[in-house]
């Protein structure tokens, strides 16, 4: 189980770096690792009246990181965000799904509107 602990710790570090980078860009981090029975959102952030669900991926290349966000995962994130919105005390003007991609020895890449959820 040593590999799991290393992988798990790496995920926490990637999320912390992503949160730090988003804060530097003016985002407020509202939730980390928001878990629901329908899915999990790595980070939920806000900037102005825009609410952003952020998926964080750490891989060997930016291409691999981006490709690791599957359609199934995107759908789960959207369903989890719909549950989060039910308990929100303000109404966002915009809702977005972003990604923060991390690779070794490079600055994280923030992909704004990484995907759009189709109804």
Q: Please write the tens of the pLDDT for every residue from 49-96.
A: 999 999 999 999 999 999 999 999 999 999 999 999 998 888 899 999
Q: Which domain holds residue 76?
A: 2-115
B/e letters for 10-46, b = 16+ CB within 10 Å, e = fewer, are: eeeebbebbbebbeeeebebeebebeeeebebbbbbe
The pTM of this model reads 0.90
Number of separate domains in the chain: 1
Nearest to 83 by CA among 114, 39, 52, 115: 39
- Which domain CATH number covers 36? 3.40.1350.10
């Amino acid at each position: 189980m040593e590999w799991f602990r290393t992988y798990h710790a790496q995920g926490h570090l990637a999320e912390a770096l992503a949160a730090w980078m988003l804060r530097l860009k003016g985002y407020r981090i509202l939730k980390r690792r928001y878990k629901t029975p329908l899915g999990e959102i790595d980070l939920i952030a806000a900037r102005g009246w825009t609410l952003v669900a952020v998926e964080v991926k750490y891989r060997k290349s930016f291409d691999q990181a981006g490709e690791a966000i599957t359609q199934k995962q995107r759908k789960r994130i959207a369903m989890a965000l719909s549950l989060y919105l039910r308990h929100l005390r303000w109404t966002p003007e915009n809702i977005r799904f972003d990604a923060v991609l991390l690779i070794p020895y490079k600055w994280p890449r923030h992909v704004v509107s990484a995907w759009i959820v189709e109804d």
